[in-house]
Amino acid sequence: MKSKLTLALVAATLAASAQAQVKVEDAIKWRQANYATMGWNMGRIKASLDGAYNKDEVIQAANVIQAIANSGMGKLYVPGSDKGSGFHETKVKPELFTEGAKVGKIAGDFNAAANDLAKVAATGDAAAVKAAFGKLGGTCKSCHDDFRNK
């Protein structure tokens, strides 16, 4: 038990240290990679909803989205990361860093919708997945509308 606690403390210390040392360009790159992965998985779900429904494909994709949504990606919005490049120039608007309450609400709604989508996907009910997928997409759109440059 004592060794597990020690390992947990060491891991937490290393994680905090690593976060404090994130370079702006790395933070942007990691954000972009996560969003690209979520986009690919959103596409997998949409393809299944628009074609022959594949429960296993939808479950896998929804679980990836849920994992990324709950990964603490907000920590990758480090000061100064409203400018610069990762894989390409960032599209984040500076307002994302000044409208904390609004960003927090959108992020909370996104996490809740991602968690709901994963839960619903496990049931195999395509109609329920379609509804949950629409809610998730709505949270994405609200953030893009307010905090992403075209």
13-47 residue pLDDT tens:
444 444 568 999 999 999 999 999 999 999 999 99
DSSP codes of every residue in 12-60: HHHHHHHHHT--HHHHHHHHHHHHHHHHHHHHHHHHHHHSS--HHHHHH
**pLDDT at residue 39, as a whole number:** 97
**pLDDT at residue 21, as a whole number:** 83
Domains and CATH numbers, the chain: 23-147 (1.20.120.10)
Q: What is the pLDDT of residues 77-124, one digit of tens each?
A: 999 999 999 999 999 999 999 999 999 999 999 999 999 999 999 999
